[in-house]
Structures are given as structure tokens and as C-alpha cells.
Amino acid sequence: MSKGILIVVSAPSGCGKGTILSEVLKDEKFYYSVSATTRSPRTGEADGVNYHFLTHEQFVERINNDGMLEYAEYCGNYYGTPKKEVYDKLSEGKNVILEIEVQGAMQIKKKCPEAVFVFIAPPSIQELKRRLNKRGTESDEVIQQRVSEAAHEISFASQYDYVVVNAELEEAISDFRSVVRAQELKSESQKNFIDEVLKNA
């Protein structure tokens, strides 16, 4: 069986990343990598679903054993991507999706140059503002903060391999799938197939 593809996805808040990924993940060929954290589970969060909840000691041990693909510390808690789970699923032929923020993505780029990096962008800052306002859950101040965070994140987009613009949801989902499919069709992924055809020539 051929190895799966590691897909690293980042997007500012309000870009529809969650909706796109949940649609893509309906295909069993895809696997969503669950992050690990040392923060406490919130109400309704389950271990292995929302996060792998680890103690501080467990997390540090994993770091020391090179068991994290990337990690970062926020507000006194660790967050990271357990390496084994990702590599196991890739060996099983699954396309593994890592949903991760820009800094983590840049760490992974150094370690896994064979991964595909996809940035999901809003069609414009105006539209992003409109979407965040439409939710109606946040103050103007929070929205302004989100928008400037988004702009900061978008400034990293050119360091990703692909930029999928979510102007129209169905098209964005189809674009995301095209990116992954193209990756599967790369000639270096098909060396075994080519050899096989030629062996029987």
C-alpha cells in the first residue's frame, strides 16, 4: 500500500476551515490528527476526541523522547502533535490532516518537507469582518482583534504550498480535494506503479 499524505492546514478564524475539513473527513481515506495538551479538559471535551489530555510530566517525556512533531507553550500549557499517531496513520495509507496554527506549521515544514501545506484564506478582509460580525457573538473590539490576527496569519500564506480561498464553500471543498488528489498523482508518488508497468512490458 502506498503511504498517505501529510496535510498541514492553517486558516484564520472565520474562514470556514472547520466546515471544509469536516466535509473532507467524511472520506475514510482521511484522518484527523488529534493534538495533545496539558490543559484541563473543558466540559464536554473527551480524551482522544478533542485532545489527548496529558499531564505535564507525560508531555515533557514525549518531548524528550522526540515524540512530538511540533509543540508550543501558551499560557503555561503545552500543546503539540504526537508523532507516532501521525506516522502510524500515514503508513496505513491514510491522508493525515494536521489543523495547526502558523508557527506550528512552520516547525513541521522544517521536519517534514514532504508534507503538503495548505492555507485557507477568506476572499477579503471585508468579507472576513462581515462573517465574524454575522456570528453576533463577539464585541467589535474582539472582532477587530481577530481581523488583525487574521491579517498577520495571511502574511504567512505564501510560505504554504497552496492557498484555498473560501469564497464559495462547495468550491473551496472541491479545491481542497484537488490539491490532495494532485499530490497523490505526483510522479514521485507513482514510482512503484511505473516500475510495475515496465516490469511487465
Chain residues in the site for a second copy (CB under 8 A):
119, 121-122, 124-126, 147-148, 150-151, 154-155, 157-165, 174-175, 177-179, 181-183, 185-188, 190-191, 193-194, 196-198, 200-201
As to burial, measured by CB atoms within 10 angstroms (0-12 exposed, 13-18 middle, 19+ buried), residue 156 is middle
Minimum Å distance from CB 111 to a second copy?
20
Cell 515533557, residue?
Answer: 60
Distance of CA 113 to the CA centre of its chain: 15
Q: Which is nearer to a second copy, 65 or 148 (CB)?
A: 148
Minimum Å distance from CB 153 to a second copy?
11
Cell 506503479, residue?
Answer: 193
Minimum Å distance from CB 180 to a second copy?
9
d(CA 107, CA 160): 12
Minimum Å distance from CB 106 to a second copy?
14
Q: Which is nearer to a second copy, 84 or 191 (CB)?
A: 191
Q: Which is nearer to a second copy, 29 or 56 (CB)?
A: 29
Minimum Å distance from CB 179 to a second copy?
5
Q: Which is nearer to a second copy, 21 or 36 (CB)?
A: 21
d(CA 111, CA 108): 5
Minimum Å distance from CB 59 to a second copy?
33
Q: Which is nearer to a second copy, 110 or 199 (CB)?
A: 199
Cell 508550543, residue?
Answer: 72
Q: Which is nearer to a second copy, 51 or 162 (CB)?
A: 162
* Contact status, residue 130 vs residue 89, Cβ threshold 8 Å: no
Contacts with 144 (C-beta within 8 Å, 6 or more apart), sequence order: none
Count of residues in the chain = 201
> At what angle are helices 17-24 and 169-185 packed, to 10 degrees?
50
